[in-house]
Structure 1
Amino acid sequence: MEVETPHYSVIFDDLDKRIVHALVVDARIPFAKLGEILGVSEQTVARRYRSLRVRGIVHLSGQVNVVPLGHARWIMRIRSTPDAALRLGESLARIPDLSWVSLLSTGSEVMCVSRARSAQRRDALLLQLIPRAPHVTGLLAYEVLHNFPLDEEWPRYSRLFDADQLRELGPRRPVQDRAVHELPIALSPEDEAMLAVLGRDARAPYAQLAAATGWSPPRAARRMSELIDAGVLYFDLDFALERMGFAVRAALWMRTRPADLAAVGAILATHPEVTYVAATTGPTNLTAALVCRDTSHLYRYLTERLGALEGITDVEVTPALRVFKQAQTLLDADRINPVP
């Protein structure tokens, strides 16, 4: 077993990366099991995970996929006067139904993702709150038609494990859109209470979930598994990318020939720089999120990897000048802060 001194380096090292990969695969993996896989003690894993959280490098949360609930995800590009774009982004980051709020490189455009869980909340955002906000001059809303599962979730650290360790971790359940066969899944007040706790901490103990719902811990565990199996609940990691050596985030807005859309999306999902790719409605039909180490890395990706793909007829690249909010965290300089 590895022996670690209490004063290890504050650098994001290989052990940190392996812990992160394990959490991407299984957010609630017991630290004792993870320690056995990694060859370190349970206490070392727990201490490293706490340090990553306290230093504002990672945050693990439970997220709700609205598709099985009968609703759609929307990606919005909101244009404003240049002097108001910063304030607009900060305001949108405080809205619970919105995530991935960024100021784009145009300087007068904010991008965000809406995951409203009712038609009323969706319409309030798209038709009232945002269009009527001061200094907003335009809104483009893209409905997400299909999310292409990544071949490996970012940051793609599986290379740091051997084959036996990967087998012990097991496969990650991909977050996939599921067709609503009959009626959308209905959530009870107890479900909502449990999801609220997991939204703050994906590793909340079953006793805490039981206290929030009034259920027993075994019942809370069963219901959480049911929601995961139904595609409603999934777990997501937010990262302070700059602390991990990545300085550039960008969005791609691509137009492909309809016959090539599925193939291009599937190929993009294998690219190491891609963290998200989806087919959408709107003036472009495919969008992707990129993470690169610097602008030279972004240039090489666009000219060498993206440029080699057949079927893309047009592409717009919009780097993020500033990211206000990720899935469940606000960004303050180079650290992340969980949403209260």
Structure 2
Amino acid sequence: MDAEWEDDSSVMDVLDKQIVHGLVCDARIPFARLGAILGVSEQTVARRYRSLRKLGILHVSGQVNVVPLGHARWILRLESAPSRAVALAESLARVPDLNWVSLLSTGSEVMCVCRPRSLERRDELLLRQLPRVSQLKGMVAHEVLRAFPFEEEWPRYSYLLSAEQLRELGPRPVMWEPTGPKSSVVLSREDEIMMTVLGRDGRAPYAQLAAATGWSATRVARRMSELLEAGVLYFDLDFALERMGYTARASLWLQVRPGHLDGVGKAMATHPEVAYVAATAGPSNLMASIACRDASHLYRYVTERLGPLEGINNVEVTPVLRLFKQSQALVEVDRVTVLP
């Protein structure tokens, strides 16, 4: 772990970060088990978690992975008049199918991730709904061909735990398989209800999920395990990045020679700064989201860590001026808030 990642300006202490790592490994891990692994009481873990949520530093949500459902993800770059860009981003942040809504440093470009759940919804968004938006002047859609998995998910706090603690936690399951889904999955009405509740609170108790779906708590737990194993359901954590010490965020758009694309993507997936990296169709064939301490850290990443990788022809760095929505939560200044 680089020294600059160990000494940061985060409002979280070591125990907070250890709890976050536990949640990254297993978002629904019982607090009693996590406390036993970390050597603290169940009440201490619960109190720290509630505090982090109340302060708007993190939010745990259950998400639908559309790939096993037979659908693609899209990364959109939307051009707007500078005076209308904020209004465009604010409106897009309220659309359920759109995530990671950001205003880029050009001041007139909004980026977002589109995860339509059906071909009809894809066409409605990309061909009808978005083109009719009055603020929109242009759109480039990059289809995600492959998202490169990480050995350790961001923010990568495993260095704060012992080898024994890491073994007890175990690895987080890889969400995206390079070979694609083994078989199609159909979601029932009750599945959709469960997903909606988990989207608001990824740690919603089984009793609450049972009441919402009309199932028994045992059936809810069994179905959740089935969807996790199929890769349809996964859990994500949204963070107030500035309060964690990350003040420089950027999207990278790379043009990589085809023979080197897989190697560059896998290499970037090992970099501590990289929160997401994917091969895409479109003007650039590799896209990455990175989080750095400051502009100097961003410069060093591009020149010292990214620069030496063989096969990169061009890199466009677009710093993020403002993040409006993450995976599920809205971002308000320095806190994340749950969508109503």
Deviations along 1:252-305, one digit per CA (max 9) or x if unpaired, are 000111110000000000000000000000011000000001000000000100
Structure 2 distance, partners of 1:132, 1:192, is 29
1: CA distance, partners of 2:90 / 2:284: 27
Residue 192 of structure 2 corresponds to which residue in structure 1? Answer: 192
Q: Provide the secondary structure at the position in 1 that maps to 2:53.
A: helix
What residue is the counterpart of 1:287 in the other structure? 287
Matched position secondary structure for 1:130: helix
Partner of 2:4 in structure 1? Answer: none
The residue that corresponds to 2:137 in the other structure is: 137
CA distance in 1, matches of 2:182, 2:65: 16
Equivalences for residues 1-340 of structure 1 within 5 A: 11-177=11-177, 179-182=180-183, 184-340=184-340
After TM superposition, give the deviation of residue 151 of structure 1 in Å.
Answer: 2.1
CA distance in 2, matches of 1:179, 1:49: 34
- Counterpart CA distance in 2 for 1:318 and 1:150 is 23
- The 3-state SS of whatever aligns with 1:95 is coil
Q: Secondary structure of 1:284's partner?
A: coil
Aligned-pair RMSD on alpha carbons?
A: 1.0
> 2-side partners of 1:201 and 1:26: how far apart?
14
**Where does structure 2 lack aligned partners over 5 or more consecutive residues?**
1-9
Amino acid at match of 1:148: F
**Partner Cα separation in structure 2 for residue 277 and residue 168 of structure 1:** 28
| CA deviation after TM superposition for structure 1 residue 198, in Å | 0.7
**2:180 aligned partner, one-letter code:** A
Q: CA deviation at 1:11?
A: 3.1
Aligned equivalents of 1:79, 1:249: Cα separation in 2? 19
Query: Counterparts of 1:151 and 1:256 in 2: how far apart (Å)?
Result: 23
Shift of 1:38: 0.7
- What amino acid does structure 2 have at the position aligned with 1:122? R
Residue number in structure 1 paired with 2:5? none
Matched residue type, 1:52: L
Offset of 1:180 from its aligned partner? 3.8
CA distance in structure 1 between the partners assigned to 2:49 and 2:198 by the alignment:
17
Specify the code of the residue in structure 2 equivalent to 1:14: V
CA distance in 1, matches of 2:53, 2:181: 36
Q: Classify the secondary structure of the residue corresponding to 2:96.
A: coil
Name the aligned partner's letter for residue 289 of structure 1: S
In the superposition, the TM-score normalised over structure 2's length comes to 0.95
Distance apart, 1:181 and its partner CA: 4.4
Q: Which moved more, 1:146-155 or 1:49-58?
A: 146-155
Give distance in 2, aligned partners of 1:284 and 1:252. Answer: 10
Deviations 1:130-184 (A, max 9, x none): 11111311100000000100121011000001111111111111111462445x2
Change in Cα spacing, 1:15 to 1:180, as seen in structure 2 (3 Å) is closer
Match in the other structure for 1:6: none
Provide the rounded CA distance (Å) in 2 between the counterparts of 1:120 and 1:73: 14
Distance 1:331 1:209 in 2: 26
Q: State the shift of 1:120 in Å.
A: 1.3
Percent identity at matched positions?
67
Q: TM-score, normalised by structure 1?
A: 0.95
| Shift in alpha-carbon separation, 1:234–1:181, aligned structure 2, 3 A | closer
Which string of whole-angstrom CA distances, capped at 9 and with x for unpartnered residues, describes residues 4-52 of structure 1? xxxxxx9310000000000000111110011111111100000000000
1:76 & 1:36 partners in 2: Cα distance? 43
The one-letter amino acid paired with 2:302 is L
Q: How many residues get paired? A: 330
CA distance in 1: counterparts of 2:324 and 2:264, whole angstroms:
30
Equivalents in 2 of 1:299, 1:181: separation in Å?
41
SS at match of 2:131: coil
